Each structure stands twice: as C-alpha cells, then as structure tokens.
Amino acid sequence: FFEETDDKGQIKQWHMMSDVCKHCAQAGCLEACPTGAIYRTEFGTVNINQDICNGCRYCVSACPFGVVSFNHDTGTATKCTFCNDRIHNGLGPACAKACPTQSIRFGFRDDLAGVAEKRVEELRKHGYKDAQLYGADPKGDLGGLNAFFLLLGKPALYGLPEKPKLPQRNVLVDSLLSIGSALVVGLGALVAFRGRGGRGDA
C-alpha cells in the first residue's frame, strides 16, 4: 500500500495496489521471447517455462508494467504465474484465497467486470469521482488485462501507464525516425563534400 498526501504533507488517502502480473491479452513479454519459453495457458494466463528460458531478459524490457524480473540465482526471468499449479487443480490463486475482504477475486472475467463496474458506480456516488476500472475493457489497450483493477484515482497515482502499449509498436516509428536521420546526415555529408569540391576547383 502507499499513502497519498495533501499539499501540507498530511495523509489524504491510503491506497492498496497489487503488483501481480496483468496477464495481458496482447502480452509484450510473450511477443518478445525468442525461445518460446513464455506461453499462454488455456485459462488466458501467461507463464514462463523455466526449463526453456535462456535468461536473455527481452521480456523484462518488453513488459509495460515492469512486473517481469530476472532471477540472478536461476539465471531466468520470473513473474507472477497466477498460481498456475493451483488453478489447474481447481483452486484459486493464493492471494485471492487469503484476502479477508474479497478485494482480490478470481473467477470468470465478465462476471468480475460486472461486479467491479457496480462498485465503481457506488464509489462515484460517495465522492470518488476518479474511481475507474483499469484494464477491464477487452477493446482497450493491449486487448484488455486478465488481471484488472479498480482504482480510486488516476493510473499514474498507482505507477501505472495511462495508455500501456507494446514496445514493439514503437519499432516502425523508431525505424522511420532513424531512416530520416540517416538521410539528413547523408544529405549533409553530400553537401559538405560538394562544398569542398567546389572550393578545390576554385
């Protein structure tokens, strides 16, 4: 959790936030993995096969949420698995089972989204005008998140990107910028070369 303070440094609000993997519908880590170690399960979750991971860390930089980390002891990437072993045995994730207030819930995505939307309406009626669902829209950023969140403020307050996107989507733009820069440099060199030639002829 973290504390939101006012201009005088007084505690204004306590906020709770889980650093769980979002298991994105369009997962940057999965797209970036060169070995096929990262895969999607039948539950829609995204996991890392530790026996195949070569420790290249491409997935670490590809995650827009910074939840993938590198384990120096094993030499492999690691992250939340959504308790893969538990859900394959008919059990929910340990965090959802342990939460005494049911703030963390596990179930069918559409059902949970419906419950969360009603909760957002209630919060807004009680003055939390910035209350919102983050990642619940399947037509939204990254195709929606399989672990979405009810926020009381703007995403930036929780360290979440306003518009998360895959790093790979920047490749075309960056490539075009690089080509443009190269053309400018090339043109500059050509002009300079001709300039020197002109002075030499004179």
Verdict on whether the full-model pTM lies above 0.85: no
Residues 56 and 119 in one domain: yes
Take residue 1 and report the two structure tokens written for it.
Answer: 């959790």
Which is it for the CA torsion 81, 21, 169, 54, positive or negative? Answer: negative
Residues 83 and 129 in one domain: yes
pLDDT tens digit string along 124-137?
A: 999 999 999 999 99
Take residue 37 and report the two structure tokens written for it.
Answer: 């170690």
Which CATH number does the domain housing residue 43 bear? 3.30.70.20
Percent of the chain with pLDDT over 70: 77
Residues 68 and 36 in one domain: yes
Residues 171 and 158 in one domain: no
Residue 5 or 123, more confident: 123
Residues 153 and 176 in one domain: no
Distance CA(149)–CA(160), nearest Å, equals: 11
pLDDT of res. 9 = 75
Cα distances (Å, whole numbers) of residue 138 to 141, 148, 169:
8, 11, 19
CA 79 to chain centre: 12
DSSP string covering 91-142: ---HHHHH-TT--S--S-HHHHHHHHHHHHHHHHHTT-TT-EEES--TTSGG
Average model confidence (pLDDT) across the chain: 83
Residues 134 and 177 in one domain: no
CA 153 to chain centre: 18
Residues 22-40 have a mean pLDDT of 95
Q: Which domain holds residue 186?
A: 166-202
Residues 148 and 90 in one domain: yes
Residues 198 and 125 in one domain: no
Residues 66-77 have a mean pLDDT of 96
Residues 6+ apart with CB under 8 A from 150: 116, 119, 120, 123, 131, 132, 133, 134
Q: How many helices (H) and strands (E) does the chain have?
A: 6, 8
pLDDT of res. 165 = 84
pLDDT band per the 50, 70, 90 thresholds, residue 33: very high
Helix (H, G, I), strand (E, B) or coil at 25: coil
Residue 2 has pLDDT above 80, yes or no: no
Domain count, the chain: 2
pLDDT tens digit string along 162-173?
A: 989 887 654 444
pLDDT of res. 169 = 54
Take residue 65 and report the two structure tokens written for it.
Answer: 């949420």
CB 149 within 8 A of CB 135: yes
Residue 38 has pLDDT above 70, yes or no: yes
pLDDT tens digit string along 11-25?
A: 667 667 778 899 999
pLDDT of res. 191 = 58
Residues 13 and 88 in one domain: yes
